[in-house]
Amino acid sequence: MRQEDLQQMRTLRLFDGMAESYVESMLRASFLQRFPARVELAREGEPADFLHLIIDGQVEVYASHHRRETTVSILGPGQSFILAAVLLDRVYLKSARALSPSRILMIPAEAVRQYFERDVHFARSLGIELAIAYRDIVKELKNQKLRSSLERLANWLLARNTETGASGRFALPFDKKVLAARLGMAPEVLSRSFAALAAYAVSVDGSSVHLQDIDALRKVAHPSAFIDDPAT
Amino acid sequence: MRQEDLQQMRTLRLFDGMAESYVESMLRASFLQRFPARVELAREGEPADFLHLIIDGQVEVYASHHRRETTVSILGPGQSFILAAVLLDRVYLKSARALSPSRILMIPAEAVRQYFERDVHFARSLGIELAIAYRDIVKELKNQKLRSSLERLANWLLARNTETGASGRFALPFDKKVLAARLGMAPEVLSRSFAALAAYAVSVDGSSVHLQDIDALRKVAHPSAFIDDPAT
DNA sequence: CGACCGGTTGAATGCATTCAAAAGGCGTGG
DNA sequence: CCACGCCTTTTGAATGCATTCAACCGGTCG
């Protein structure tokens, strides 16, 4: 790892409050890897060998079973994945692939477990990280089971709008195909849902979206803090 | 709390390795409550005030939104719920109700957070508990999104059979209505699914189930270690 | 130019929900 | 002990949301 990269890694939230010498030693054992788009970063069923931390890029986390596939989440810089498997020393329950060229900090599972036992601050960070991940997936389960696909799309648009400054205009951060997977629907359904939302002043041109009547959109979406609000 | 109850609480897995004085102090602040069936133990949207630990009884964890409701899990003795909300000091994302008369150990959220910071062993227990809960819900998400209701039922039957000694005969641990909710389907669908499984030598009489051809059932179910195996 | 990929649109199918009604089980009160 | 009523479960039928298959458009790349 290069000196300036190391410097950046040291400041990761995950290491907050941790003894410096521990951080150093963990980082020495870790790899900062670059991956091209479409590469598989982890495969369901394999033993957890590294905790993955996204420094740069987008990663799709998904699971397969019996010729079907479902996207669980799409992660970006600052987020980690497969933490639970690492902590418990079990196999991955999900696979992950890079959606864009990515830089991933890979911390050996063994080291994670070791310092989890050894350093309160690190244990605390991991616990909080896990708790957040847990709540995120609960929200996703609710999103999937309590909403129609039209509602899921509407809420995603509202959330994305808020996230990007609430200007009413933003670009889709990935292909519609991927968005469809993220929202748990076939691409065809996403297409039809966008069409249906035109009635609520949602206009889409390629990847640029314009929400011209947020209130109308909220009425279809029925947003809920307990599903959509990342800070809740 | 009575002396003998206290004694029992002290041996909880959650407290393994924890300094005795800490355990004592946590338990002194806690309540061992009895609840009749159907009582609501936690409500979505309320601030997390207690970590709940089931000593006795069955608890249904569910979430509501916009006049719909979905069951997230059904828990029994030894399992805790709403740990993530307690740790992060956020509101509950799910509600919980007692399915049967239950005894619940309620540990004040404040105390949980305090000892989480203070005691490595406790932090470790919580981390592991959270990691397991996380993986369970990932499995549930996969179960829901990658399977038909017939498959979900078939797999549940297989798992339950294994759990109860693989004799091919067992009783449903709760009403079919509740089972339907647990499996994410309407009661009507459960009924029809049972009827459909008769073709695979599954016979049901009231709450007693008899699986007469496990292999046939496995063929419909397509069980997967990464969804169904509690130890994976 | 032709092939391919992402996206859209149309049509058919299917799984599951919903509404409705009837049958079976269980407990309560007369 | 029986009758009644409530709740669970089953069965039937209609509806609907979403998947799947298929065809088509437009842009990009070899």
Closest-lying nucleotide for B188 based on CA to C1': D10
Residues of CATH 2.60.120.10 domain(s) within chain A?
Answer: 3-145
Partners of B188 in beta bridges: none
pLDDT value, residue A164: 96
Residues of B in contact with A184 (CB under 8 A): 145
Chain A to chain B Cβ contacts (< 8 Å): 154
Strand A208-211: give its sheet, edge to edge. Answer: A169-171, A208-211, A202-205
Residue corresponding to tokens 């829901």: B144
Tens of pLDDT, residues B107-132: 999 999 999 999 999 999 999 999 99
pLDDT at A182 over 90: yes
Measured between beta carbons, the chain B residues lying within 8 angstroms of A147 are 65-66
Q: Give the pLDDT of residue B198.
A: 96
* Strand D interface, protein residues by Cβ within 7 Å: A 68, 148-150, 184-186, 188-189; B 175-177, 187-188, 190-192, 194-195, 204
- Residue percentage of chain B with pLDDT more than 70: 100
The confidence score (pLDDT) of residue B227 equals 98
The alpha-carbon gap from B16 to the nearest alpha carbon of chain A, in Å, equals 14
B148-228 CATH fold:
Arc Repressor Mutant, subunit A (1.10.10)
A145 → closest Cβ in B87, B126, B144: B144
Residue B94 pLDDT greater than 90, yes or no: yes
Provide, as residue numbers in chain A, all residues whose Cβ is less than 8 Å from the Cβ of B87. Answer: 127-128, 131
Mean pLDDT over residues A20-43, rounded? 96
The mean pLDDT of B89-101, rounded to a whole number, is 96
Q: What are phi and psi of B53, to 5 degrees?
A: -125, 120
pLDDT at residue A14 tops 90:
yes
Across chain A, what does the average pLDDT equal?
96
Q: What is the mean pLDDT of residues A146-152?
A: 98
Amino acid, single-letter form, for residue B87: L
Please state which CATH number belongs to domain B3-145: 2.60.120.10
Residue for token digits 């409500």? B43
Distance, CA of B16 to CA of B129 (rounded, Å):
12
What is the nearest nucleotide to B187, using C1' and CA? D9
Average pLDDT over every residue of A94-113: 97
Q: Which nucleotides of D are covered by protein (CB under 7 A)?
A: 8-13, 17-22
Tell me the β-bridge partners of A96: A42, A61
Residue in A closest to B134 by C-alpha: A134
Higher pLDDT, B5 or B144: B144
Region label for B82, one of left (φ > 0), alpha (ψ between -120 and 50) or beta (otherwise): left
Q: How would DSSP label each residue in A28-63? A: HH-EEEEE-TT-EEE-TTSB--EEEEEEES-EEEEE
Do the Cβ atoms of B107 and B26 come closer than 8 Å? yes
Tens of pLDDT, residues B179-203 = 999 999 999 999 999 999 999 999 9
Q: How far apart are CA B118 and CA A12, in angstroms?
A: 22
CB half-sphere exposure, B127, CA atoms < 13 A: 31
- pLDDT confidence of B2, banded at 50, 70, 90? confident
Statement: residue B177 has pLDDT above 90: yes
User: Does B144 contact A142 at a Cβ distance shorter than 8 Å?
Assistant: no
- Cβ within 8 Å, pair A131-B131: no
Which residue of A91, A130, A144 is in closest CB contact with B130? A130
User: d(Cα B77, Cα B223) in Å, to the nearest integer?
Assistant: 26
Q: Return the beta strands (E) in B46-93 as ranges.
A: 50-56, 59-65, 68-75, 80-81
CB neighbour list of residue A169: distance below 8 Å, 6 or more residues apart: A208, A209, A210, A211
CA distances from A128 to A131, B16, B54, B61, B152 (A): 5, 20, 23, 22, 32
Host H or E run for residue A17: none
How sure is the predictor about A41, in pLDDT bands with cuts at 50, 70 and 90? very high
- Residue of B65, B87, B131 with shortest CB distance to A84: B131
**Chain A, nearest residue to B145 by Cα:** A70
**Nearest beta carbon to residue B130 from set A44, A124, A127:** A127
For residues A124-148, give the mean pLDDT. Answer: 97
* Best CA proximity match to A59, nearest among A40, A32, A45, A43: A40
Determine contact, residues A74/A99, Cβ cutoff 8 Å. yes
Residue A1's pLDDT is 80
Q: Per the CB < 8 Å rule, is A146 touching B88?
A: no
Gap from A94 CA to chain B (nearest CA, Å)? 9
Give the SS3 label for residue B74: strand
Statement: residue A118 has pLDDT above 90: yes
Please classify residue B13 by burial: count the beta carbons closer than 10 Å to its beta carbon, then call 0-12 exposed, 13-18 middle and 19+ buried.
exposed
Mean pLDDT of A207-213: 97
**Mean pLDDT on A180-205:** 97
End-to-end CA distance of chain B: 36
pLDDT band with cut points at 50, 70 and 90 for residue B1: confident
- Domain(s) labelled CATH 1.10.10.10 in chain A stretch across 148-228
